[in-house]
Each structure stands twice: as structure tokens, then as C-alpha cells.
Amino acid sequence: MIIAMQADATPEEVQAVIEKVSEVGMRPLPLPGGDRTVIGVASAIPPDLREALTEMVLALPGVDHVAQVSRAYKLASREFHAADTVVDARGVAIGGAAIVVMAGPCAIESREQLRAAARAVREAGGRILRGGAFKARTSPYAFQGLGVEGLKLLKEVGGELGLVTVTEVMDQHDVEVVAEHADILQIGARNMQNYPLLVAVGKSTHPVVLKRGASATLDEWLLAAEYILSQGNPNVVLCERGVHPLDRTYTRNTLDLSAVSVVKEISHLPVIVDPSHATGSWKHVPAMSRAAVAAGADGLLIEIHPDPKRALCDGPQALKLDAFARLMEDLRRVASAVGRET
């Protein structure tokens, strides 16, 4: 941590900062010679002191700003854990050599609909079935999902077809029931900073897909992962799903693929991409899926539907089943071009 004083800070103000740093057991080191006094903290700052010390120092008079030297997250950092984490989802490795495709409908609507989608996933070589039972909808008047009935269908259809399953959990008190019915827990973008929920899935042993919030910085996203990791669950898969866009004339969000490249550098956790929510339009899902794999993503989360124009949720972004099959062929070629398998 580096504390830059205002150019006109008084010696007393500088001294108060030095004392505050000492008071919490850290070693202050004034850095002379520039156009203002700078005080470095010459100690490794424990994670639980970092934010508190920053705030206490910033509340002192004469302080201009504080620059952080170390990462805000620890367990999620590659500095702490150099090797890639490979998450095992009931036999499917996420973060290994193979690109993992998770696909299925936005919302589970019926046994027939889910089964049709699931068959398409299996036939195209996908290994994980997605399907929403609890839906987070912007409008209270929109379809909110089938709830536990949907979970049962997911378990049944996944079991029938030998597919691993993933579904969203929106309430910490539902973690148990969702974990009984599905193999992977998903935290939606709107809940990325729902801390009680993060703590609850952190106490589970199920893999967790953690979507990035619509305006979350990479540090905020990795700190959300840290909430889960620090509860003892190491099986976190990060999912980029687009950030708030410049405008919504043509896409729902802006897919931030450089986040994939950056996060693979600074963290050891697997990163997947959801091109469906990112673009909001099936037309752009194939191009963004190919790009995600080329950018180094470890997998994809794709919405498909046997009949998008009758979908109860997010029809415009769902690929038809035949388009999905063609996309899987494309992805095989792109994965191979970048040294990955499918």
C-alpha cells in the first residue's frame, strides 16, 4: 500500500499517517524526493486489514489518495495458487484441455421441452445440461420459472440422458434443495454481490458457476469468488456474460472477452462465457462462441430451445437445435486451431 499525501500536507499530517500505519502493526516507510510526501507500507498486509487500513488512512487530513500494491483477493489469485484449477463436475473436467459446453433452455417449461433440448446437447457432444427452475426476471409480471417442479424435471432428464446438470440458485435457503437436484450451482449476474448467497454456496461442495455482475470490475468479481473460496469450496467456475452496454440498440450487453484473457492471467480459476445473455440475440451467439474459444475460454454456457418462438423466457437469444449442432462443429475446429479439445 502506498499513501500519497497532498502536495501541501503539513508535517503533522504526515506524522499522523505514519502513526496510524504503525498502530495497526505495519511498517511505514516515507519515500522522499518527489513533489509530495509518499508513505509506503513495508509489510505484507493481512487481507482482513487491507480495506480497514485503507479507509482509516483516507479519513485522515492531508491524504491525497491510496494506491494498492497487492491484490485485494488472495485465494482466487494466481500469485497464491500458480497452477490452473480444474473443477470436477461429476466426471466432467472444467478448466482442463477440453472446452466444456453447457447448453439447454433458459427456463425449464415442460418435460418434453427439456428432453428435446437435452437430446440435442448429447447428440452434439455436449456433456452438461442447463435449465432454469428459479428465474430472476426484471419484471414482476414475467414468467418466474417452475421452481422445485423444474428442479425435478432437470434431475430426471439429466439422469435419463447421462448429462451433468447446472441450474441457478437465487436464495441461500434453496441451496440445499437445488444441490439435491442438480450437479452444479449457478449464481446469476444480479446476485454476484448477494453475499449471504455466496457464503451459502461456499459451504456446499458442489461446483459453482459464478456469473460476473453487469457492472462488476474484475477485482469485484474475484472478490465475489473469494467469498465462496474462503468458506472452503474450491470449485468455482467464473462466467463472463457481458457488461452493461453503451447502448441496447443491437445487443443486450457488451461481451468482454478481454476479461477472459486477463482473468486467466491473474487467477487460476476456470473461465467460461455465456454468449446468449451477452448478446441477447441468437444471430450473434455463434460468432461470439467461436471468439470465446479463440480467446481462451474453458467453456461456454449456451441457451438452446426446440421452438424459440414459443419460449417462455429469452426466446430471442435461444439457438434452435440444428443451429446448435452446427455451432458445435464450428467450435471443434476453432478449439483445435488454438490447441484445445472439445
Residues of span 56-75 touching a copy of itself by CB under 8 A: 56, 58-60, 65, 67-70, 72-73
257 binds a copy of itself (CB under 8 A): yes
266 binds a copy of itself (CB under 8 A): yes
Scanning 24-110, the segments in alpha helix (DSSP H) are 47-58
Let me know: does 214 contact 136? Beta carbons within 8 Å: no
147 binds a copy of itself (CB under 8 A): no
Residue holding cell 486489514? 49
In the complex with a copy of itself, which residue's Cβ is closer, 143 or 156?
Answer: 143
Helix (H) or strand (E) holding 28: strand 28-31
Q: Which stretch binds a copy of itself (CB under 8 A): 116-124, 148-156, 159-167, 283-291?
A: 283-291
In the complex with a copy of itself, which residue's Cβ is closer, 67 or 88?
Answer: 67
Q: Are strands 92-94 and 87-89 parallel, antiparallel or unpaired?
A: antiparallel
CB of 336 to a copy of itself, least distance (A): 7
Residue 29: exposed, middle, or buried by beta-carbon count in 10 A (0-12, 13-18, 19+)?
A: middle
47 binds a copy of itself (CB under 8 A): yes
H, E, C per residue of 114-152: HHHHHHHHHHCCCCEEECECCCCCCCCCCCCCCCHHHHH
For residue 211, give every residue at least 6 positions away whose Cβ sits within 8 Å of its Cβ, in sequence order, or none. Answer: 186, 187, 188, 189, 192, 239, 241, 274
Q: Which stretch binds a copy of itself (CB under 8 A): 86-94, 123-131, 158-166, 225-233?
A: 225-233
Among 12, 83, 91, 139, binds a copy of itself (CB under 8 A): 139
Q: Which stretch binds a copy of itself (CB under 8 A): 91-99, 123-131, 158-166, 260-268?
A: 260-268
In the complex with a copy of itself, which residue's Cβ is closer, 23 or 160?
Answer: 23
**What are the φ and ψ backbone dihedral angles of 17, each rounded to 5 degrees?**
-70, -45
CB of 160 to a copy of itself, least distance (A): 27
84 binds a copy of itself (CB under 8 A): no
In the complex with a copy of itself, which residue's Cβ is closer, 8 or 12?
Answer: 8
Task: Give the binding-site size for a copy of itself (rule: CB under 8 A).
Answer: 120
N- to C-terminal Cα separation, the chain:
43
Question: Which amino acid appears at position 194 of this protein?
Answer: N
For residue 39, give every residue at least 6 positions away whose Cβ sits within 8 Å of its Cβ, in sequence order, or none. Answer: 2, 3, 5, 14, 17, 18, 21, 28, 29, 30, 31
**Spatial separation of the C-alpha atoms in residues 212 and 228, rounded to whole Å:** 14
97 binds a copy of itself (CB under 8 A): no
Within 227-256, the residues that bind a copy of itself by CB under 8 A are 227, 230, 243-244, 246-251, 254-256
110 binds a copy of itself (CB under 8 A): no
326 binds a copy of itself (CB under 8 A): no
Within 168-207, the residues that bind a copy of itself by CB under 8 A are 170-173, 190-191, 193-196
Let me know: does 173 contact 166? Beta carbons within 8 Å: no
Among 110, 111, 180, 337, binds a copy of itself (CB under 8 A): 337
8 binds a copy of itself (CB under 8 A): yes
116 binds a copy of itself (CB under 8 A): no
Burial track 102-134 (b if 16+ CB lie within 10 A, e otherwise):
bbbbbbbbeeebbbbbbbbbbebebbbbbbbbb
CB of 291 to a copy of itself, least distance (A): 4
